[in-house]
């Protein structure tokens, strides 16, 4: 199929960017979105033009590296997938596809479609971990955990930190990401020891990094490729309240 691509091009965070139009012919409907961009970049290189910069790594929906807004939706017109899992059969012959980077103050643009998501790493460094003694592994059943809480913790731990929640939110909030990190640690016995310090420090760091506030529109949950739910934000608010009183 033939496509018209309208792609955001920007040299760096200090330069002015703009949309540039491209035409791509004979695109296989079975190719992934990133493979389609690979083909476009090959054509640009052959024409001695600057290839389009975009982020990617595993291309299996695991790492969370790939991320861009496609026709107004983070990760594109499908649910519970990352960009690398989006296939071109979701589009039609002759479609115009608008592609742009995540838009958030906390995610400064590096070039074209690539942004710096180091802010998420800073949030995890602040307290998104548990401090445990190392040594021989304990017996698997030595710390009993109710299945309900284990399931909730695993659901929250599925977050891959792609940043779609921030890109989808009109306030560029990181509440779903922080909520997922706080939830999966607080729900387990190993994480309860540092629970109060964790939530206070992560929320303070989130505000410091320039992420916005949550307005409960649910856009983050709708666009999350791993189905992280708003209940994690509710749990984050509850843990923060109890930590403050």
The rounded distance, in Å, linking the Cα atoms of 165 and 125 is 20
* DSSP H or E segment with residue 6: strand 3-9
Please report, for the domain that includes residue 218, its CATH number: 1.10.1060.10
Q: So what's the pLDDT on residue 134?
A: 64
Phi, psi of 209 (to 5 degrees): -75, -10
Same domain, 50 and 121: no
Does residue 194 surpass a pLDDT of 70?
yes
- The reply to whether 108 falls in a domain is no
Q: Note whether 92 and 121 are same-domain residues.
A: no
* DSSP designation for 212: B
| pLDDT number for residue 209 | 96
Cβ atoms of residues 185 and 220 within 8 Å: no
Provide the domain count of the chain: 2
Q: Do 206 and 236 touch, CB atoms closer than 8 A? A: no
Q: Which of 66, 100, 134 is the last residue of a domain?
A: 100
Burial group, residue 18, by CB count within 10 angstroms (0-12, 13-18, 19+): exposed
- Give tens-digit pLDDT for 112-157: 999 999 999 999 999 888 887 766 766 666 778 889 999 999 999 9
In terms of domains, do 72 and 123 share one?
no
- CA distance linking residue 164 with residue 245, whole number of Å: 32
Query: CA 217, CA 104: separation in Å to the nearest integer?
Result: 17
Residue 193's domain comprises: 117-244
217-241 pLDDT, tens per residue?
999 999 999 999 999 999 999 999 9
Residue 205 lies in a domain: yes
pLDDT value of residue 128: 87
Q: Are residues 235 and 188 in the same domain?
A: yes
- The residues near 162 (Cβ < 8 Å, ≥ 6 apart) are 64, 65, 66, 67, 75, 82, 225
């Amino acid at each position: 199929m033939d496509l018209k691509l309208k792609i955001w091009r920007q040299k760096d965070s200090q330069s002015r960017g703009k949309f540039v139009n491209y035409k791509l012919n004979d695109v296989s409907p079975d190719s992934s979105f990133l493979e389609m961009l690979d083909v476009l970049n090959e054509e640009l290189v052959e024409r001695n033009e600057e290839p389009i910069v975009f982020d990617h790594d595993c291309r299996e929906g695991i790492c969370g590296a790939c991320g861009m807004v496609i026709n107004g939706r983070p990760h594109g017109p499908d649910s519970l997938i990352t960009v690398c899992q989006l296939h071109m059969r979701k589009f039609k012959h002759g479609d115009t596809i608008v592609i742009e980077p995540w838009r958030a103050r906390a995610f400064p643009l590096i070039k074209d479609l690539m942004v710096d998501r180091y802010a998420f790493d800073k949030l995890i460094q602040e307290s998104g971990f548990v401090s445990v003694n190392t040594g021989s592994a304990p017996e698997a059943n030595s710390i009993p955990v109710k299945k309900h809480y284990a399931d909730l913790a695993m659901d929250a731990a599925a977050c891959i930190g792609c940043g779609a929640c921030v890109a989808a939110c009109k306030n560029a909030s990181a509440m779903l990401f922080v909520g997922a990190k706080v939830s999966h640690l607080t729900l387990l016995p190993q994480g309860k020891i540092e629970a109060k310090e964790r939530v206070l420090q992560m929320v303070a760091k989130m505000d410091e990094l320039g992420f916005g506030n949550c307005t409960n529109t649910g856009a983050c949950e709708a666009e999350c490729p791993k189905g992280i739910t708003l209940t994690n934000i509710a749990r984050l608010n509850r843990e923060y309240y109890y930590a403050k009183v």
